[in-house]
Amino acid sequence: MVMDLLLLSNSTVFGLRPLEHALHAVHAFLGNVRLVHFVPYALANHDDYTARVEELLAPLGITIKGVHANASPRQAVEEARVLYVGGGNSFRLLNAFQQHDLLDTVRRRVTAGDLRYMGASAGSNMACPSLRTTNDMPIVQPRSFEAFGLIPFQINPHYLDPDEKSTHMGETRARRIEEFLEENDVPVLGMREGSWLRRHGSELRLEGIAGARLFSRNADPQEIVPGTDLSWLLGITARFDQPA
């Protein structure tokens, strides 16, 4: 049994239906599994979110079961073979995982290889050691920023390259990541919309219809194209709160 992850930068690409760009990857990831347990906690309306995801995956013959509908969400996670954690607000999502005491359960089962993990946007953020590189506004206050740590580096979903013609005076995404690296010695993969990471055991690849930018301390950003083997990133050690 090996760790099995599919981490989507986003679920919706402009001009396509939600998940349409990645349905083939989702189908391959699920294999013969036809029941997926869904975590809708990143949005406020859990029932509506779950119903929309079920509609999207119906063409694959997938049945969706929202963990929120179980009297014990932890029991639902213990019974699941595949856990899909949807996007929305990362802070609300992490706060709900903490309130339902699900962090250790998910981490244990995924790490052991008996629970496959699929995330999109905020759900992919949760696979990192910390939420520190999310784009979201902290609309709630979790007890800590510690996430699942299913990968030892950080990602930044929905990554946007700096627009040289823009008159916006706020920080670019690249600048915010550079500020993170001033305080933390942890690589950050800026994943453009349409990209995803596929981890199977000790193998990790960037896939999708868009590339990514890899930011590391004391190094120029590195362009990563779809199909690139990033397995070496699984061997790094994250060092948080280590000012340069």
Q: Hey, which residues are catalytic here?
A: 121, 136, 158
Q: Helix count (H) and strand count (E) of the chain?
A: 7, 11
- Which positions ≥6 away from 88 have C-beta within 8 Å? 41, 42, 43, 49, 121, 122
Question: What interhelical angle do 103-112 and 90-99 show, nearest 10?
Answer: 90
* Residue 154 identity (one-letter amino acid): Q
The strand pairing partners of 120, in sequence order, are 8
> Is the CB of residue 157 less than 8 Å from the CB of residue 192?
no
* Residue 88 identity (one-letter amino acid): G
